[in-house]
Amino acid sequence: MDQETLLAMREVFLAAPESGRAQIFAWILSLSLLIVVLVLVRRRTLRAEYTPIWIGVSVGLFLAVADLDLLRSAARMLGAWTISSTIFFLGLCFLLAICLNYAVRLSQAGDRIRELAQEIALLRQRMDAGAVGTEEPGPSGRAKL
Amino acid sequence: MIVIIPAYNEETRIGPVIEAIRSTGLDLEIAVIDDGSRDGTAEAVTRAGAIVIRHPFNMGYGAALQTGYKYALRQGADLLIQMDADGQHDPEQIPRLAEPILRGECDLVIGSRFLVPTGYEMGALRTLGRRVFQGLGRIAGVEVTDPTSGYQALNRKVLALYARDDFPHDFPDIDVLLMAARSGLRIQEVPATMQESPRASTLHGGWRAFYYVYKMLLSMWALTARPKGKH
């Protein structure tokens, strides 16, 4: 099959109307993700500081599926044959990015735990040696107003 | 009574702030929480004769405040004053903040720049943000004119609430006030004059402003979505 035929076939794939069912499924998925994030925040299981990425993914997926022409353009740009493969590819990129992000956070958390453990060890040594408590204490605080 | 001052890279400003507090003549314990500064903040605090509690690394303004709350609880303090390290807050106004709590009228007092005209100038965008959060706070159940004021007095009940795990690491503003109000604690404001922050950027400046708005909206929603009293 020559190159021109392949390109024409790819255009046919890309121009083919998408199933409305897939669109609805994607919307349900994005809304479910949004609801799960909100429920976790409400239950204090997830801190608000860690939500922007998940709310962003949820809103992004919702908007991307709403405008399929945007996804078609992305598919053409990436050299993909179908919109769904583009979504899978972008999803994979996101998962790789988030894995890397968590690896960085884990490294930082590891460093901090080590630092804390060392601080505790040094404090314990000072306590054992009787050094803690010999520092000048501040004036004890009762209000005098 | 304990004064806590969270500080990050405030080597040049913290000494005069401690001196200003001492010059009031009030019987106060001053504790500075050095939030992992990379400059000589801790040494400056020690030179000024105050207590320094050092974080081994930077954790954020909220985390530094919470360390101060936990310290005050352990010290058995009944009343805590929190101030900023950049000299914005006038220590002469400490009695004004403390008195409503000492009289038993409320649990938490906020030094407000906007309760009465004090001549404090805020940029247009920040003013808009303040008014929006003030309005949202009113709807959610907390009526304050200066939700971003870091000049506050807290009694032991508030300290116990704020010492919990869900206290925010970064911006404890209207969301924690709402948490206190929904826990049945009484909040009052008193007028306070403040200087402009000498720092080039504040906690809520630049790109952080967008995150701040997002974070506050989400936190306020989460608080109002929980049953009252379960905070």
Q: Is B230 within the bounds of a domain? A: no
Are the beta carbons of B170 and A141 separated by less than 8 Å?
A: no
Tokens of B117: 């005209």
Are the beta carbons of B222 and A42 separated by less than 8 Å?
A: yes
Are the beta carbons of A141 and B1 separated by less than 8 Å?
A: yes
Q: With a cut of 80, say whether residue B171 has pLDDT above it.
A: yes
pLDDT (average), residues B30-44: 95
- Higher-confidence position of A19 and B153: B153
Interface contacts A/B by beta carbons within 8 Å = 64
Positive or negative: CA dihedral A122, A127, A129, A131: positive
Q: With a cut of 50, say whether residue B144 has pLDDT above it.
A: yes
Q: Is B6 within the bounds of a domain? A: yes
Q: Which of residues 73-102 of A touch B (CB under 8 A)?
A: none
H or E stretch covering B5: strand B2-7
Are the beta carbons of B225 and A42 separated by less than 8 Å?
A: yes
What's residue B209's pLDDT? Answer: 85
Tokens of B222: 């989460």
Measured between beta carbons, the chain B residues lying within 8 angstroms of A140 are 29, 75
User: Which residue in the set B1, B165, B226 is minimally distant from A142, CB to CB?
Assistant: B1
Q: What chain A residue is nearest to B32 in terms of C-alpha separation?
A: A138
How far is residue B130's CA from residue B158's CA, in Å, rounded to a whole number?
23
CA triple B66-B61-B55, angle to 5 deg = 70
**Is residue A143 within 8 Å of residue B98, measured between CB atoms?**
yes
Distance from CA of A39 to the nearest CA of B (A): 9
pLDDT (average), residues B175-202: 86
CA dist B50 → A31, B20, B21, B30 (Å):
52, 12, 10, 5
Measured between beta carbons, the chain A residues lying within 8 angstroms of B26 are 143-145
Q: Is B12 within the bounds of a domain? A: yes
Distance from CA of B94 to the nearest CA of A (A): 9
Measured between beta carbons, the chain B residues lying within 8 angstroms of A49 are 168-170, 215
Domain that holds residue B134: 2-225
Q: Percent helix, strand, coil in chain B (nearest 5)?
A: 40, 15, 40
Tokens of A8: 């024409």
User: Which residue in the set A49, A115, A138 is minimally distant from B57, CB to CB?
Assistant: A115
- Higher-confidence position of A142 and B214: B214
ipTM of the complex: 0.71
- Determine the residue among A47, A50, A58, A122 to mutate to test chain B binding: the one whose Cβ has the most chain B Cβ atoms within 10 Å: A47
Q: Does A114 touch chain B (CB under 8 A)?
A: no
What's residue A28's pLDDT? Answer: 94
What confidence tens digit (pLDDT) does each residue in B49-59 have? Answer: 999 999 999 99
Q: Is B96 within the bounds of a domain? A: yes
User: Which residue in the set B2, B51, B214 is minimally distant from A52, CB to CB?
Assistant: B214
What confidence tens digit (pLDDT) does each residue in A11-29 have? Answer: 888 887 777 787 888 899 9
Read off the CATH number of the domain in which B216 is found.
3.90.550.10
How far is residue B203's CA from residue B89's CA, in Å, rounded to a whole number?
16
pLDDT (average), residues B107-134: 88
What's residue B160's pLDDT? Answer: 96
Phi-psi region of B106 (alpha: psi -120 to 50; beta: other; left: phi over 0): beta
Q: Does B226 touch chain A (CB under 8 A)?
A: yes
Q: What chain B residue is nearest to A47 in terms of C-alpha separation?
A: B166
Q: Is B231 within the bounds of a domain? A: no
Q: Does A142 touch chain B (CB under 8 A)?
A: yes
SS3 B96: helix
Q: Is B78 within the bounds of a domain? A: yes
Beta-strand relationship, B79-82 and B2-7? parallel
- Higher-confidence position of B146 and A140: B146
Q: Is B221 within the bounds of a domain? A: yes
Reported for B48-53, long-range contacts at CB under 8 A and 24+ positions apart, including other chains, are B48/B14, B48/B15, B48/B18, B48/B19, B49/B18, B49/B22, B50/A138, B50/B18, B51/A138
H or E stretch covering B3: strand B2-7
- Higher-confidence position of B225 and B229: B225
What's residue A137's pLDDT? Answer: 44
Are the beta carbons of B226 and A42 separated by less than 8 Å?
A: yes
* Nearest residue to B29 (alpha-carbon basis) of B86, B89, B96, B94: B94
What's residue A76's pLDDT? Answer: 86
Backbone dihedral angles phi then psi of residue B146, each to the nearest 5 degrees = -135, 75
Give chain B's mean pLDDT.
Answer: 91
Q: Is B108 within the bounds of a domain? A: yes
- What's the structural domain count of chain B? 1
What's residue A127's pLDDT? Answer: 86
pLDDT (average), residues B208-214: 88
Q: What chain A residue is nearest to B52 in terms of C-alpha separation?
A: A138
How far is residue A49's CA from residue A69's CA, in Å, rounded to a whole number?
33
SS3 A29: helix
CA dist B43 → A139, A140, B14, B36 (Å):
19, 22, 10, 13
* Nearest residue to B142 (alpha-carbon basis) of B227, B218, B223: B223
B48 pLDDT band (50/70/90 cuts)?
Answer: very high
**Is residue B109 within 8 Å of residue B144, measured between CB atoms?**
no
What's residue B219's pLDDT? Answer: 92
Regions of chain A with pLDDT less than 70 = 131-145
What's residue A16's pLDDT? Answer: 77
pTM confidence score: 0.80
B198 pLDDT band (50/70/90 cuts)?
Answer: low
Positive or negative: CA dihedral B7, B12, B13, B19: positive
The residues facing B221 across adjacent strands are none
Tokens of B92: 């002469």
